[in-house]
Amino acid sequence: MRRPALRVAALAGAAAATLALGLAAPAQATNAAKPGPRVPAGPYVALGDSFSAGSGVLPLSATANPLCAQSAVNYPHLIAQRTGRALKDVTCGGADTSDFYTAQYPGTPAQLNAVTTDARLLTIGIGGNDSSLFTGLIQNCLTAGLSTLGQGSPCKDKYGSTYTTTITTKTYPAVKKAIADAKAKAPKATIVVPGYPQVLPPTKGCYLAMPIASGDVPYVNGIEQALNAAVKQAALDSGATFVDMWAPSAGRDACQLPWVRWVEPAIGSLQFVPIHPNAAGERAYADQIMAKVGL
């Protein structure tokens, strides 16, 4: 009953059409420095939103609801293929933590229903869609950027600390609860919680591909970093392993050339869900997760 993909964002203005919100080199081994203990053999359950579902990366999974835009080559599928584990992948574009408890679409059960006591590996990529955080941020900052032709910081000027307050008061406790509830259902599982990669470069953006005002680029980055910090804290508080995707994705953002980037831009995307990880981005997720926990 909800939006496809870390979901649907509109490029408002005369020059834009409505967009649905979603890599070319091996991942850097940032998370490989201190791998955790090897995960015991056993089933793998993947939970999460469009960044975990690989929404926009073809081909689509034959076993998932097409509305989820789940890719057959997302990082859960890649990890399962590489390790030979039986996989239950219930990741779905547009999911937030409420979809862990209730059906997101008719025929698409609550994600926690897939977690059973015999699971030995869980990946949980969630948080960006709660309170329409990422969708609202991207939509509002694109709209603001178009209104000033890329000048100034209109999004920051209008929204200020709104998003970071939402992350602290709503996203963090919701993600913490979701992880804890998954752990309660699979107490013997290793639980891995990946963060989100860089969508924009650190300071200077790319207005033609990502129409966000120059002064709002650091603002958007700061909010995404706050989201990652909240997800990390929720993971640590719940006894899960956090996997950083921010540092490994430096220089792989949506402003880079197609064979370099791990995230597709709003304009000129090479996949049907822009502003999301591409195939190389999903491979990078798999690389970082596997290195972190010694798979």
Q: Sheet of 87-89: strands edge to edge?
A: 87-89, 44-48, 121-125, 190-194, 241-243
* Amino acid identity for residue 118 in this structure: D
What is the three-class DSSP state of 88? strand
Q: Where are the alpha helices (DSSP H) in the chain?
A: 50-53, 75-83, 133-147, 154-159, 162-166, 172-185, 217-237, 279-293
Catalytic residue among 131, 238, 249, 276: 276
Amino acid at 75: Y
Which bin fits 277, alpha (ψ -120 to 50), beta or left (φ > 0)?
A: beta
Query: What does R_g of the chain's alpha carbons equal in angstroms?
Result: 18
Omega before 26 within 30 of 0, i.e. cis = no
Instruction: Say if residues 229 and 158 touch (Cβ distance below 8 Å).
Output: no
**Is 276 annotated as catalytic?**
yes
Please identify which of the residues 50, 52, 131, 238 carries the catalytic annotation: 50
Residues labelled catalytic: 50, 276
